[in-house]
Amino acid sequence: MKRIVPGLLLMVVATLQPRPAAAQDPNDPLLNMQAIAQALGVPCAYCHTRQTDNSTDFQADTNPKKAIARQMIAMTREINARVQAASGKAAGQAANVHCLTCHRGTPVPQRLTDIMLRTLRDKGSDAAVAEYRELRQKFYARDTYDFSEPDLLNLAQRLADARPDDAIALMTMNLEFNPKSARSYIVLSRAYVRKRENDMAIAQLKKALEIEPENGIAKGYLSQLEQNRR
């Protein structure tokens, strides 16, 4: 029989000791560092300290993001405790939030329209359209961002009066992905009206009615513009 090295024996015994209750569920995202990294879409070195030899020091506290992560984990636990208390449900029955609930694959959770609006203001419509395309290519069919029409349409509608060129850029792009979007043509029409290009505005409304012949908004706007043109 082989002789067991005392140090090795201690390690084996340690692995067999009962773990604290908080560490018993390795699938809990609040206790699983890999799950947290996946939720944020980042490597371990995003919060831990990267060493010069490309290794990661998991014990060091020199990376400020590690302190932020600890606060976020504490905040999440507090939210879950409040939900449990408010619902009166036992642990495991109340709905819980995790890192993935907000982050969904990004280190800083944001609405897509907020990202677009900031880029529009800082860099212009060309940069915003390019950013949208990049995010769509990377995250489409995932839960990270909402690539459905409503939010983008609402943003363009808000921009149509004050920044019509930005609205036109967004809706032109949207029509590439959603060619049957009558509302996109209606928003385009509104933007062209603000630019005093009524013929272009009328053309957009006619395209909207080709898609939705009974669209009351398009009919009403078209009637007004044609009367003004007379």
pLDDT (0 to 100) of residue 142: 84
pLDDT, one tens digit per residue, over 10-19 is 333 333 333 3
pLDDT (0 to 100) of residue 38: 86
pLDDT (0 to 100) of residue 97: 85
CA distance 5 to 162: 77
User: Helix, strand, coil % (nearest 5) of the chain?
Assistant: 65, 0, 35
pLDDT (0 to 100) of residue 4: 42
Whether residue 125 is found in the same domain as residue 211:
yes
Whether residue 95 is found in the same domain as residue 126:
no
Residues 6+ positions from 109 with CB-CB distance below 8 Å? 102, 103
CB 33 within 8 A of CB 44: yes
Helix or strand run (H / E) with residue 61: none
pLDDT (0 to 100) of residue 195: 96
Give the DSSP letter of residue 30: T
**Residue 186 falls within a domain, yes or no?**
yes
**Residue 8 falls within a domain, yes or no?**
no
CA angle 33, 37, 41 (to 5 degrees): 170
**Residue 49 falls within a domain, yes or no?**
yes
* Range of the structural domain that residue 72 is part of: 25-103
Compute the residue count for the chain.
230
pLDDT (0 to 100) of residue 108: 87
- Sign for the CA dihedral angle at 9, 12, 14, 18 comes to negative
The answer to pTM > 0.75 is no
Series of mean pLDDT values for 10-residue runs along the chain (230 residues): 41 36 50 82 86 81 88 89 88 84 87 94 96 93 89 95 96 97 97 96 97 96 88
Whether residue 86 is found in the same domain as residue 118:
no
Boundary of a domain, candidates 50, 83, 103: 103
CB 44 within 8 A of CB 37: yes
CA distance 75 to 36: 14
- Distances in Å between the alpha carbon of 50 and those of 53, 63, 85, 125, 207? 8, 9, 40, 37, 56
Whether residue 174 is found in the same domain as residue 118:
yes
Boundary of a domain, candidates 83, 103, 123: 103
What residues pair up with 56 in beta bridges, in sequence order?
Answer: 50
Whether residue 141 is found in the same domain as residue 80:
no
When divided into structural domains, the chain yields a total of 2
Phi and psi of 210, rounded to 5°? Answer: -65, -35
**Residue 134 falls within a domain, yes or no?**
yes
**Cα 227 from chain centroid?**
44
Residue 77, token pair as written in the block = 């636990």
